[in-house]
Amino acid sequence: GAVVSQHPSWVICKSGTSVKIECRSLDFQATTMFWYRQFPKQSLMLMATSNEGSKATYEQGVEKDKFLINHASLTLSTLTVTSAHPEDSSFYICSAPLGTGNTEAFFGQGTRLTVV
Amino acid sequence: QKEVEQDPGPLSVPEGAIVSLNCTYSNSAFQYFMWYRQYSRKGPELLMYTYSSGNKEDGRFTAQVDKSSKYISLFIRDSQPSDSATYLCAMSVTDSWGKLQFGAGTQVVVTP
């Protein structure tokens, strides 16, 4: 299947700092990518839809000023957690659909963020 | 009430047994149903995909959807230790595979 690569796999940062997570589609172009967050023992929750060349669409309750999303090219979306706090510690996963319509979305391997 | 309910387990079965997993949901508009497998600290990988009601079989895996009961199931036959993982159900109203509603995932442990 198609490959979506996420970097870094894990990161530890100090409270108050910002962290950038990259999501790349390696062998296909993705005009749309999706960012999820997963807390321990809980389901993946969609945070936002990243749209190439335009603003991201955030789900209700997700702070757009805290979770900055940039989709500058057809193969790269970035999620920046600004002024991170311990409660932002979570597993962040991106996905990218292979095309439009009824096509599978492939997931990255996820990024484990720990804020200390 | 969560839109998608899934027992988190863990579910422990001996090697060779049938693993039975299920999810219930409340939104009758869901039409696309998926099962993903997720290993620890990895992203989910798609196992099965079903549109609307019915059964689908792929090797040792069988997915069932009963829209009238808002209930979906995944069966794994002849389970192997390598099947030990967390299994997530996911659903979508549209054919946009990105905007999925996930269950919490069931941890499965297959013991040799």
C-beta atoms of B98 and A109 within 8 A: no
- pLDDT category at B2 given cuts 50, 70, 90 is confident
Is a pLDDT exceeding 70 seen at residue A46?
Answer: yes
* pLDDT above 70 (res A100): no
Q: Which residue has the tokens 């979306």?
A: A77
Check if the beta carbon of residue B65 is closer than 8 Å to that of residue B72. Answer: yes
Q: Using an 8 Å CB-CB cutoff, list chain A residues near B98.
A: 32-34, 46, 49, 95-97, 105
Greater confidence, B90 or A43? B90
Q: What is the pLDDT of residues A70-86, one digit of tens each?
A: 998 999 999 999 999 99
Encode pLDDT of B79-105 as tens digits.
999 999 999 999 988 776 777 899 999
Q: Which residues of chain A are within 8 Å of residue B96 when distances are taken between CB atoms?
A: 97
C-alpha B78/C-alpha B91 separation (Å) is 26
Mean pLDDT of B33-62: 91
CA dist., res. B63 & res. B30, Å (int): 16
- How big is chain B, counted in residues? 112
The mean pLDDT of chain A is 91
Q: Are A84 and A16 in contact (CB under 8 A)?
A: yes
CB contact under 8 A, B98 and A105: yes
Whole-angstrom Cα distance, residue B38 to residue B19? 16
d(CA A78, CA A72): 9
pLDDT at B108: 97
- A98/A116 Cα distance (integer angstroms): 36
Q: Examine the pLDDT at A102 and tell me if it is beyond 60.
A: no
SS3 state of residue A86: helix
Q: Which residues of A touch B41 (CB under 8 A)?
A: 9-10, 91, 109-110, 112
Cross-chain Cβ contact A43/B96 below 8 Å? no
Chain A contact residues (CB < 8 Å to B): 1, 4, 6, 9-10, 32-34, 41-46, 49, 91, 93, 95-97, 101-105, 107-110, 112
DSSP class per residue in B52-84? SSEEEEETTEEEEEETTTTEEEEEESS--GGG-
Q: Which residues of A touch B104 (CB under 8 A)?
A: 41-43
Residue of chain A whose Cα is closest to the Cα of B10:
A41
pLDDT value for B84: 97
